[in-house]
């Protein structure tokens, strides 16, 4: 599993969406919630959409 890349992307998405919420529009917080919900879901199901996307893009560990 490409966990380091997934964690880096999730952290980047959260930080960027918070900055967008502060400087552009508060509705960007929905994106933060979406990322958090996906992280929570993947902890229960052991399935991660971002891992599948990275695999299709042939990103190495």
Phi-psi region of 46 (alpha: psi -120 to 50; beta: other; left: phi over 0): left
Q: What average pLDDT does the segment 47-52 reach?
A: 91
Compute the mean pLDDT over every residue in the chain, rounded to the nearest whole number.
93
Domain boundaries, given as residue ranges, for the chain: 3-56
List of residues 6+ apart from 55 with CB closer than 8 A: 2
Phi-psi region of 58 (alpha: psi -120 to 50; beta: other; left: phi over 0): left
For position 13, what pLDDT does the model report? 97
For position 1, what pLDDT does the model report? 57
Whether pLDDT at 59 is above 80: yes
Whether pLDDT at 2 is above 80: no
Q: What average pLDDT does the segment 21-34 reach?
A: 97
Q: What average pLDDT does the segment 34-56 reach?
A: 93
């Amino acid at each position: 599993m490409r966990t380091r890349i997934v964690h880096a992307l999730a952290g980047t998405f959260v930080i960027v969406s918070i900055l967008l919420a502060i400087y552009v529009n508060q509705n960007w917080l929905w994106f933060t919630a979406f990322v958090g919900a996906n992280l929570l879901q993947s902890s229960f199901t052991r399935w991660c959409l971002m891992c599948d996307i990275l695999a299709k893009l042939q990103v190495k560990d």
